[in-house]
Structure 1
Amino acid sequence: MTDTAFDTVIVLTGASRGLGAALARDLAAPRTKIIALLRKPDPALEADVAAKGGVLQQVAVDLADLDDTAVQADILFPAMPAGAKRYWLINNAGTVAPISTIAGLGDPAALRTAFDINVNAVILLSAAFLRAMTGRQAQGRLLNISSGAGRNAKAGWGVYCATKAALDMFTRTVNTERDTHGVTAVALAPGVVDTDMQGAIRASDPAHFPAVAQFQGMKDKGQLASPANVAASIHAYLQRDDFGQTEIDDIRNY
């Protein structure tokens, strides 16, 4: 396809599995190009997107490596196809590790990785997206997948709560500069989704995460949302005319 063949261009992180993979599949459509940033390309995902008439470009990148992330961002965003009506960046990748009480946090590498994936990579990618959107006559939307953990403290999640709270405030700050780049940003909590991250949470040591039984019970009672259903709800949310009216939001409100 030529650049002018696309109405919608989407950059999506964390598309290897879980909610990210479900989003890629749900967003796929004719005249839509999805640029997926993921650790390892997935031929099945590419086939599923193509089957729905979309185009998937997979870019292997480790978001915990900020130098590589910055290099990829400076290549990818300026090269986004011109002439589309909509450009969306969805920062979905994230990590819940390290799960530990505050007193147990002593590994600098684990802290760096959490903040690099959940916050710093988001900032780098968003900055490159905003630079690329400046002057484009098109809709620009930035969706940061946040968490209720950034708005409600939970024992054992000191790092996760802190990174998601930072993500929420970063999103608000993007909107204070909207006049310079024309992009509207939202930090959206997806609810409790049945992903590998939830599996890691359920396997936590109760001594480090006292609420582990609550999450185990949610799984046992079938209370976790499916990635496919949440992805469909997020897709609909991205298309709302009032996108951005609520900067810090939760998909469970819709």
Structure 2
Amino acid sequence: MEITTVAIVTGASRGLGHALARGLLQPGTQLVTVSRSHDEALAQQAAQAGCNVQQIQSDLANPAAAERLAAQIVANLPAGAQRYLLINNAGTVGPISQTDQLSDAAAITAAFSLNVTSVMLLTTAFLQTVKPLGADCRILNISSGAGRNPTAGWGVYCATKAALDHYTRVLHAEEHGVRIVSLAPGVIDTGMQQTIRSSDVHDFPNVARFTQLHDEGRLTSPDETAARILRYIDRDDFGSNVLDDIRNYA
């Protein structure tokens, strides 16, 4: 079967990443997923959908692992597809703590490695591989409103997402011939939200708001958000707004 789209999705084992991976299971698609575990159900769904899927297990919080992964992925990307897509979705909200208590260097470093460093490494490898192909190439970085609005207790999360946003703007300014967006996906009913709701109020004073959003059913589902994001990626004007929010679109 002719491959028309090559798509790479990180953090694909659960939540939004899992929903995005399932939404990309289409005939003619070569899907590469990155997560810390193998998903047999996804493999079966891919076979039923006539989609090729390669699942790679890696911990992107480890810079050396992320570097090896980047080399592994690009070494196996097929040439000749019409579109190449990289979705940098993997991320963590932790460590959650007030600034005067942020003393765990390993946890802070792991968060930056996952939320920022792995994105940069994968993007570099992706660009080096796809730019010579002359195809439609799109990069979507899953960001957060936290990168654009300071939130008490989220010093690390806000800093990493702000870094991701600005890195995306730099990449756009360099004009590599790819379309790139850093997208806030809204408040989604995922494991990350469970982590947020379980936070100590002294570490995260805004915990009551997120508990209320959940109790009132105001969180969007991963499947609904993924469907909206995949429609957004397909838009002709994708990349015209480098920093965007999926809530701006139906």
Same fold per TM (> 0.5)?
yes
- Equivalent position to 1:201, from 189, 196, 199: 196
Shift of residue 11, structure 1, vs aligned partner: 0.7
Q: Which residue of 1 aligns with 2:43?
A: 46
Q: Which residue of 2 aligns with 1:164?
A: 161
- Give the whole-Å Cα distance in 1 for the aligned partners of 2:21 and 2:61: 21
Shift of residue 207, structure 1, vs aligned partner: 0.4
Does 2:66 match 1:55? Answer: no
- Give the whole-Å Cα distance in 1 for the aligned partners of 2:123 and 2:33: 15
- Give the whole-Å Cα distance in 2 for the aligned partners of 1:66 and 1:163: 15
Shift of residue 78, structure 1, vs aligned partner: 3.5
- Give the whole-Å Cα distance in 2 for the aligned partners of 1:227 and 1:148: 17
The residue type equivalent to 2:226 in the other structure is A
1:221-240 maps to which residues of 2 (within 5 A)?
Answer: 221-240=216-235
- Equivalent position to 1:86, from 80, 83, 87: 83
Shift of residue 76, structure 1, vs aligned partner: 1.3
Shift of residue 87, structure 1, vs aligned partner: 0.1
- Give the whole-Å Cα distance in 2 for the aligned partners of 1:83 and 1:107: 46
Q: Which residue of 2 aligns with 1:132?
A: 129
Q: Which residue of 2 aligns with 1:111?
A: 108
- Give the whole-Å Cα distance in 2 for the aligned partners of 1:105 and 1:93: 22
Q: Percent identity?
A: 53
Partner SS for 1:134: helix
- Structure 1 vs Structure 2 CA RMSD: 0.9
- Give the whole-Å Cα distance in 2 for the aligned partners of 1:245 and 1:47: 36
Runs of 4+ in 1 over 2 A off after TM superposition: 49-53
Partner SS for 1:100: coil
- Equivalent position to 1:187, from 178, 182, 191: 182
Q: Which residue of 2 aligns with 1:21?
A: 18
Does 2:119 match 1:122? Answer: yes
- Give the whole-Å Cα distance in 1 for the aligned partners of 2:60 and 2:80: 28
Partner SS for 2:133: coil
Shift of residue 188, structure 1, vs aligned partner: 0.3
In structure 1, stretches of 5+ residues that fail to align are none
CA contact (8 A) 1:16 1:42 kept: yes
- Give the whole-Å Cα distance in 1 for the aligned partners of 2:179 and 2:57: 27
Does 2:216 match 1:215? Answer: no
The residue type equivalent to 1:223 in the other structure is R
- Give the whole-Å Cα distance in 2 for the aligned partners of 1:99 and 1:191: 19
CA contact (8 A) 1:15 1:36 kept: yes
The residue type equivalent to 2:222 in the other structure is P
Q: Which residue of 1 aligns with 2:34?
A: 37
Shift of residue 159, structure 1, vs aligned partner: 0.5
TM-score (norm 2): 0.98
Partner SS for 2:187: coil
Q: Which residue of 2 aligns with 1:252?
A: 247
Partner SS for 2:149: coil
- Give the whole-Å Cα distance in 2 for the aligned partners of 1:174 and 1:64: 22
- Equivalent position to 1:175, from 172, 176, 186: 172
Moved more, 235-244 or 169-178: 169-178
Shift of residue 176, structure 1, vs aligned partner: 1.5
